[in-house]
């Protein structure tokens, strides 16, 4: 491809997949807040997709402004009365705010503002965003299993000299559980083993009519991820080559698919927390943590892999759609977990303040809240800087841009 065509294709192959992935996740997250607030009769001023000046905006019958901002990197719900991120004042400020609202809008008007809603309702509104992310992941995983099926957890081969061979695993074994986690597909096994290098794992397997308990310790192995980066992961040395004709793939009914979707989301969240715990203790590298740049790289790589997975146009479109939807589900779990961290400015920070209010029977002092939000914002910016630096250290984007006009 000529340099000019390569440059013109840049937005399509890099930016478009990234926006599809991130905007889907963000819109669902914000709609979770919006939906919960509407259920409780909270007054809402605006629902914005993107930031900055509005490209398109309109108002619905309830007076909510819906807008699409020119910077399509996120979104927000603005509740009536919100003036800044530290929108929950202390007790004295609450009384002054109520008096001001009553003087402007009449008796009872304050009851529709979020800050005057019962504590449990405010907590539900805060938690609804991350919850929506988990629901999105569960629904996508369920639909994928329902339409495509999934590979069974049967072992088709054992690598000689591998941890699996040392543990006594054999071809034909069906893995039922690992480290206390139920296994329904080979992908479940991979997810658990990958973050548990050098950790002994108790495994329950089915061998013929017998059920056995074995212990295997995944070896640490350096592999290339989809971006071509070196990554240290745990490996057992088991081989899975599922064949639909031989029954290696299983189909499920809608009810089973729904359960598997939820189970896969919970498993992914558990794996994330386990990885973070090991990384904090110095047992794993933080290299797997990434920011927007890595998300863009992954979106591009996964979209490209999907397009290249078929021969016809319809097969390529199906591969692209499957890969992007699966990526949306996986990243949505991470976004939900991240927003539940007890950092002020995040949903978890609001929940922490509400927990204090529940115990102390009054909101946290406004001055303390203001300082907490500044500290939280600094911490959040620090995390973003670390993730971006991590991305840049391993980025292939600059190699791509450097060779663009070579």
Active-site positions? 30
The residue among 58, 132, 40, 154 whose CA lies nearest residue 347 is: 132
The residue among 123, 133, 125 whose CA lies nearest residue 79 is: 125
Please report the sign of the dihedral spanned by the C-alpha atoms of residue 292, residue 132, residue 255, residue 270. positive
- Whole-angstrom Cα Rg for the chain: 25
- Cα–Cα distance, 386 to 383 (Å, whole number): 5
Concatenate the DSSP letters of all residues of 362-403 into one string.
SPPPHHHHHHHHHHHHHHHHHHHHHHHHHHHHH-SHHHHHHT
**CB 217: neighbour CB atoms within 10 A?**
15
- Cα–Cα distance, 58 to 314 (Å, whole number): 36
Pull the structure tokens for residue 242.
Answer: 């599922």
Pull the structure tokens for residue 212.
Answer: 């056995």
The residue among 138, 150, 132, 155 whose CA lies nearest residue 33 is: 132
Pull the structure tokens for residue 402.
Answer: 């450097």
First-to-final CA distance of the chain: 12
**CB 244: neighbour CB atoms within 10 A?**
11
62 CB contacts (<8 Å, ≥6 apart)?
A: 44
Concatenate the DSSP letters of all residues of 138-193 into one string.
HHHHHHHHHHH-EE-SB--EE-TTSHHHHHT--TT-EEEEETTEE--SHHHHHHHH
The residue among 74, 57, 55 whose CA lies nearest residue 66 is: 57
20 CB contacts (<8 Å, ≥6 apart)?
A: 299, 324, 328
135 CB contacts (<8 Å, ≥6 apart)?
A: 32
């Amino acid at each position: 491809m000529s340099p000019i065509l390569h440059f013109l294709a840049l937005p399509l192959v890099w930016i478009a997949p990234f926006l599809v992935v991130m905007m889907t996740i963000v819109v669902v997250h914000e709609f979770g807040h919006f939906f919960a607030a509407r259920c409780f009769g909270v007054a809402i001023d605006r629902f914005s997709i993107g930031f900055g000046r509005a490209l398109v905006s309109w108002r619905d019958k309830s007076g909510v402004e819906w807008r699409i901002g020119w910077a399509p990197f996120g979104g927000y719900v603005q509740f009536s009365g919100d003036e800044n991120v530290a929108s929950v004042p202390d007790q004295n400020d609450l009384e002054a705010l109520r008096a001001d609202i009553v003087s402007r809008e009449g008796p009872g008007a304050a009851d529709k503002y979020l800050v005057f809603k019962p504590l449990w309702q405010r907590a539900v509104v805060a938690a609804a965003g991350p919850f929506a992310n988990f629901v999105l992941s569960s629904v996508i995983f369920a639909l994928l299993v329902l339409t495509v099926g999934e590979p069974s957890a049967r072992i088709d081969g054992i690598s000689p000299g591998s941890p699996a061979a040392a543990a006594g695993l054999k071809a034909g074994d069906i893995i039922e559980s690992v480290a206390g986690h139920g296994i329904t597909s080979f992908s479940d096994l991979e997810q658990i083993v990958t973050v548990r290098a050098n950790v002994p794992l108790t495994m329950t397997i089915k061998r013929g009519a017998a059920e056995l308990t074995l212990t295997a310790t995944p070896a640490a192995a350096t592999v290339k991820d989809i971006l071509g980066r070196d990554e240290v992961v745990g490996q057992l040395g088991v081989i899975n080559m599922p064949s639909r004709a031989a029954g290696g793939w299983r189909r499920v009914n809608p009810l089973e698919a729904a359960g598997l979707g939820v189970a896969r989301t919970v498993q992914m969240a558990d794996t994330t927390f386990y990885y973070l715990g090991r990384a904090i203790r110095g047992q794993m590298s933080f290299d797997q943590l990434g920011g927007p740049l890595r998300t863009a790289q992954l979106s591009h790589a996964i979209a490209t892999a999907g397009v290249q997975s078929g021969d016809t146009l319809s097969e390529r479109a199906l591969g692209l759609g499957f890969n992007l939807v699966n990526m949306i589900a996986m990243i949505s779990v991470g976004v939900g977990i991240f927003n539940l961290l007890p950092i002020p400015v995040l949903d978890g920070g609001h929940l922490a303040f509400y927990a204090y209010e529940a115990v102390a029977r009054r909101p946290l002092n406004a001055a303390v809240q203001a300082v907490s939000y500044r500290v939280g914002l600094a911490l959040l910016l620090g995390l973003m800087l670390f993730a971006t630096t991590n991305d840049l250290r391993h980025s292939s984007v600059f190699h791509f841009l450097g060779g663009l006009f070579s």
